[in-house]
C-alpha cells in the first residue's frame, strides 16, 4: 500500500501517455501522478520507494459506463443491493476496472427509489472500484426496441423532467440516462439533464438521423451500445448510427458511442466500420449482466429471467440476447484482435474515451501529471498483473 506522503517511482515500465506507449518511469505521490522534472529541479528529491515493473505496460484504469451486474448480482434488484455492489466492485478490480457506472435497466418505480440512493459516488480502494454514479438505462425508451426491458415498465415524458424526478425518486445519484430521443418532450428533458451535469445517452430507439442530431444539439453526447436496440443502418436514413458520420455535428457537439466487443453482440466487421468512421468517439462497454463470471444456467436481469447457454445470455425461453457475460479485459482483447487497431487505441477506448464522455478526462482515464493515480499493469498479451487506485495496489494477480 502506498503511503500518501511517500514518493513512489514505478521503474522499468512502458506507460501509455499522449496516445503512445513509451519507456518512461511513473511517479506517484499523494494519490496522483507527479512530474519528475519538478521533483528533480525544485525538490531535488529521490524516490522513497522504487517498484520494478518488469517491463510491463501501464495503462490508465479502465472505466466501465454500462454494466448491469455480475458474479450473481444484478444492480436492478432491491434486495442485497449493498452486498452485490460490494462484491461486484471488488471483483471488477481483477479485470482492470478502476471506476464504473452501475447500470439499472427499466424497472418499476419503487425499484429506482430503493436502489438508486445506494449507487451514489463512492471513491474506490481495496474494497472495490470507484462508483461514479448510476447509469439508468430506461424506462424512457421505445417499446419497439425494448430488448430485455419489460414493456409494462416503459414510460414516456408526459410531464418532462418532472416525470424523471418522480420515476427515479431523485437525480442525485444518476450520472447517465439512456433515453429514446423520438419521445415527446425529449428536447426539454435532455436540456434539463445536461444542466444537472447528467450525461444523456441515446438508445433503445427508432429515431431517424434528424431526430438524433436534434438530440445532440440539445445536449446528448453518447449512443448506448451502438447497433444494438436501434434501427439497422439504412442508406436513405441511417438513424442513430448516422451520428458517427453526421456533417452537422462539429467539435462543439462531440458524440461518443458504446460498443460491446464480446464477439457476440457486434460482428467484427461492424466493429471495424465503427472504428474507422469515428475512432475518437468509441467506448468499449461490456453491458455485462449478473451471469458474468458464472456458469451456464438460469439467472436474472432486472425483472426478467435469463438463460446462459453456449457462452451467450438470452431472455429465458427465447433467442433474444440480453446483455454480455464478457469482462472488460476480454472485450479489450477481442476489440484489439478484431479491428487491427493499435494497442494504445484499444486501451484508450476503455479508459480515456469514457472519461471524455463523462467530462472527467483531467482526473481519470489518463496518466497525466495531476490526475488520479488509477492505473492497470498488463502483460504484452493483455493479462492483468495488478490494478491501482490513487497509487494503492488494490489487486495483485500474484496474490490469487
**207-256 confidence digits (pLDDT tens):** 999 999 999 999 999 999 999 999 999 999 999 999 999 999 988 899 99
pLDDT digits (tens, 9 = 90+) for 358-398: 999 999 999 999 999 999 999 999 999 999 999 999 999 99
d(C-alpha 87, C-alpha 82), whole Å: 9
pLDDT digits (tens, 9 = 90+) for 188-204: 999 999 999 999 999 99
Residues 91 and 213 in one domain: yes
Q: What angle do CA 190, 196, 200 make, to 5 degrees?
A: 35
Question: Which domain range does residue 265 map to?
Answer: 62-358
The answer to whether 287 is a known catalytic residue is yes
Residues 187 and 74 in one domain: yes
pLDDT of 363: 98
Q: What is the CATH number of the domain that holds 388?
A: 2.30.40.10
Residues 73 and 156 in one domain: yes
And the C-alpha cell for 89? 466492485
Residues 302 and 387 in one domain: no
Give mean pLDDT, residues 2-23.
90
pLDDT of 1: 46
In a domain, 42, yes or no: yes
In a domain, 2, yes or no: no
Q: What is the CATH number of the domain that holds 138?
A: 3.20.20.140
* pLDDT at 51 exceeding the cut of 70: yes
In a domain, 3, yes or no: no
- To the nearest whole number, what is the mean pLDDT of the chain? 93
* pLDDT at 157 exceeding the cut of 80: yes
In a domain, 1, yes or no: no
In a domain, 105, yes or no: yes
In a domain, 116, yes or no: yes
Give the pTM. Answer: 0.95
Q: Which residues are annotated as a binding site for Zn(2+)?
A: 137, 204, 225
Residues 182 and 105 in one domain: yes
pLDDT of 208: 97
Residues 382 and 308 in one domain: no
DSSP 235-247: SS--GGGGGGG-S
Residues 250 and 194 in one domain: yes
Residues 136 and 179 in one domain: yes
Q: Where would I find the H helices in the chain? A: 36-38, 81-92, 109-115, 161-168, 186-195, 209-217, 268-277, 328-339, 343-349, 352-358
Identify whether the C-beta of residue 92 lies closer than 8 Å to the C-beta of residue 64. yes
Q: Which residues are annotated as a binding site for substrate?
A: 148, 228-229, 236, 265, 321-323
pLDDT of 3: 58
Residues 322 and 372 in one domain: no
Q: Which residues of 204-237 are buried (b: 16+ CB within 10 A; e: fewer)?
A: bbbbbbebbbbbbebbbbbbbbbbbbbbeeeeee
Q: Which residues of 330-366 are buried (b: 16+ CB within 10 A; e: fewer)?
A: bbbbbbbebbebebbbbbbbbbbbbbbbbebbebbbb
Catalytic, out of 74, 208, 287, 374: 287
Q: Which residues are annotated as a binding site?
A: 137, 148, 204, 225, 228-229, 236, 265, 321-323
pLDDT digits (tens, 9 = 90+) for 311-362: 777 888 888 777 788 999 999 999 999 999 999 999 999 999 999 999 999 9
Q: How many domains does the chain have?
A: 2
Residues 49 and 68 in one domain: no
pLDDT of 301: 67
Identify whether the C-beta of residue 237 lies closer than 8 Å to the C-beta of residue 218. no
* pLDDT at 171 exceeding the cut of 60: yes
pLDDT above 90 coverage of the chain, percent: 80
Residues 54 and 67 in one domain: no
Identify whether the C-beta of residue 260 lies closer than 8 Å to the C-beta of residue 331. yes
pLDDT of 2: 52
pLDDT digits (tens, 9 = 90+) for 272-318: 999 999 999 999 999 998 888 776 777 766 667 878 887 777 888 88
pLDDT of 323: 72
pLDDT of 65: 98
In a domain, 307, yes or no: yes
Residues 20 and 68 in one domain: no
The H helix count followed by the E strand count for the chain is 10, 22
Amino acid at each position: 500500500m502506498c503511503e500518501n506522503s511517500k514518493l513512489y517511482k514505478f521503474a522499468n515500465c512502458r506507460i501509455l501517455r499522449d496516445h503512445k506507449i513509451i519507456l518512461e518511469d511513473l511517479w506517484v505521490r499523494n494519490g496522483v501522478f507527479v512530474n519528475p522534472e519538478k521533483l528533480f529541479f525544485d525538490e531535488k528529491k529521490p524516490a522513497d520507494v522504487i517498484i520494478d515493473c518488469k517491463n510491463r505496460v501501464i495503462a490508465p484504469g479502465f472505466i466501465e459506463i454500462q454494466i448491469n451486474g455480475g458474479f450473481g448480482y444484478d444492480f436492478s434488484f432491491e434486495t442485497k443491493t449493498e452486498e452485490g455492489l460490494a462484491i461486484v466492485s471488488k471483483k471488477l478490480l481483477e479485470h482492470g476496472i478502476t471506476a464504473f457506472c452501475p447500470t439499472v435497466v427499466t424497472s418499476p418505480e419503487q425499484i429506482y427509489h430503493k436502489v438508486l440512493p445506494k449507487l451514489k459516488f463512492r471513491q474506490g480502494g481495496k474494497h472495490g472500484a470507484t462508483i461514479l454514479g448510476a447509469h439508468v438505462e430506461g424506462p424512457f425508451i421505445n417499446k419497439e426496441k425494448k430488448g430485455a426491458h419489460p414493456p409494462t415498465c416503459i414510460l414516456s415524458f408526459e410531464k418532462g423532467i418532472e416525470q424523471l424526478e418522480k420515476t427515479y425518486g431523485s437525480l442525485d445519484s444518476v450520472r447517465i440516462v439512456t433515453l429514446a430521443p423520438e419521445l415527446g418532450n425529449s428536447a426539454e428533458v435532455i436540456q434539463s439533464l445536461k444542466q444537472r451535469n447528467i450525461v444523456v445517452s441515446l438508445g433503445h430507439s427508432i429515431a431517424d438521423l434528424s431526430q438524433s442530431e436534434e438530440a445532440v444539439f440539445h445536449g446528448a453526447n453518447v449512443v448506448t451500445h451502438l447497433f444494438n436496440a436501434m434501427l439497422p443502418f439504412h442508406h436513405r436514413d441511417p438513424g442513430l448510427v448516422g451520428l458517427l458520420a453526421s456533417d452537422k455535428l462539429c467539435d462543439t457537439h462531440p458524440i461518443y458511442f458504446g460498443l460491446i466487443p464480446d464477439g457476440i453482440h457486434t460482428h467484427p466487421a461492424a466493429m471495424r466500420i465503427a472504428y474507422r468512421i469515428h475512432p475518437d468517439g468509441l467506448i468499449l462497454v461490456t453491458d455485462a449482466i449478473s451471469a458474468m463470471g458464472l456458469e451456464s444456467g438460469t439467472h436474472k436481469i432486472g425483472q426478467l429471467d435469463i438463460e446462459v447457454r453456449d457462452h451467450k445470455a438470452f431472455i429465458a425461453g427465447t433467442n433474444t440476447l440480453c446483455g454480455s457475460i464478457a469482462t472488460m479485459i476480454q472485450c479489450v482483447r477481442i476489440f484489439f484482435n478484431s479491428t487491427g487497431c493499435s494497442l494504445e487505441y484499444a486501451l484508450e477506448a476503455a479508459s480515456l474515451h469514457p472519461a471524455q464522455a463523462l467530462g472527467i478526462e483531467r482526473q481519470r482515464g489518463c496518466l497525466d501529471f495531476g490526475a488520479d493515480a488509477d492505473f492497470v499493469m498488463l502483460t504484452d498479451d493483455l493479462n492483468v498483473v495488478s490494478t491501482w487506485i490513487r497509487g494503492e495496489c488494490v489487486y495483485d494477480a500474484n496474490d490469487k
